[in-house]
């Protein structure tokens, strides 16, 4: 019994905090924006998640977005979004670049879960390129799953759909 408790204490005292803190940063926000806007990112705008937009976001994610406002960067019909969504236990930070209502690129910026990091590989994220929203606010592109990373794959798909929705909802898609 004591051995069990000691092992438990070791796991929760030493291993778990490290798991919680472990995060892989693939690209910083500044690098992402420089890439999205050719080294000259515009000033950020803010999309408040309230009213009808809040309801729509809930429909897309299956839950409320964990913040009341989302920052975005928009120039002409190009916009960049940095969004968070929990895969299994911890948020995955994703950067999405949208041009004319189509995803130009989707990149995992920070991955915090201890399993399922394969979703950050370019071979996976490139599947989102060219995706748009169909009439029922789903991605019009089939995304192949990854064994052992199902929840992370779903999280990225939800974020891709959310970014496309927000892009059209805030009016960036018409160049405003």
Binding mask 86-125 for other proteins (x = CB under 8 A): --xxxx-x--------------------------------
Q: Give the nearest distance from C-beta 13 to other proteins in angstroms.
A: 7
Interface segment toward other proteins; rule CB under 8 A; list 84-92, 114-122, 124-132, 137-145: 84-92
Residues recorded for the chain: 176
Angle (CA) 34-37-42 rounded to 5° is 95
Q: Whose CA is closest to 90, among 117, 129, 64?
A: 117
In three-state secondary structure terms, 86 is: strand
16 interacts with other proteins by CB under 8 A: yes
Count of residues that interact with other proteins, criterion CB under 8 A: 35
Phi and psi, residue 169, nearest 5°: -70, -35
Q: With both helix axes pointing from N to C terminus, report the angle between 51-61 and 150-169 in degrees, rounded to the nearest 10.
A: 150
Exactly one of 36, 57, 82, 162 binds other proteins (CB under 8 A); that residue is 82
Interface segment toward other proteins; rule CB under 8 A; list 20-28, 97-105, 131-139, 157-165: 20-28
55 interacts with other proteins by CB under 8 A: no
Exactly one of 38, 39, 40, 43 binds other proteins (CB under 8 A); that residue is 43
CA–CA separation, 4 and 58 (whole Å): 42
70 interacts with other proteins by CB under 8 A: yes
Task: Establish how many alpha carbons lie within 13 A of residue 172's alpha carbon, considering only the half-sphere containing its beta carbon.
Answer: 27
Nearer to other proteins, 17 or 130 (CB): 17
In three-state secondary structure terms, 94 is: strand
Tokens representing residue 20 in the block:
């919680």
Which residues are near other proteins by CB under 8 A? Answer: 1, 3-13, 16-17, 20-21, 28-30, 43-44, 46, 66-71, 82, 84, 88-91, 93
């Amino acid at each position: 019994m004591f051995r069990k408790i000691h092992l438990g204490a070791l796991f929760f005292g030493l291993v778990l905090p490290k798991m919680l803190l472990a995060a892989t940063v693939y690209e910083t926000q500044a690098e992402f924006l420089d890439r999205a806007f050719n080294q000259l990112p515009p000033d950020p705008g803010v999309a408040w998640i309230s009213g009808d937009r809040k309801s729509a976001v809930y429909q897309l994610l299956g839950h409320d977005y964990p913040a009341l406002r989302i920052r975005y960067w928009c120039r002409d019909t190009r916009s960049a979004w940095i969004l968070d969504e929990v895969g299994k236990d911890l948020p995955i930070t994703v950067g999405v670049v949208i041009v004319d209502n189509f995803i130009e690129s989707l990149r995992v910026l920070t991955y915090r879960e201890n399993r399922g990091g394969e979703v950050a590989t370019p071979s996976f994220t490139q599947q989102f390129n060219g995706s748009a929203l169909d009439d029922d606010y789903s991605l019009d592109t089939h995304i192949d799953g990854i064994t052992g990373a199902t929840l992370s794959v779903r999280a990225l798909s939800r974020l891709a759909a959310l970014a496309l929705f927000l892009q059209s909802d805030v009016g960036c898609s018409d160049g405003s």
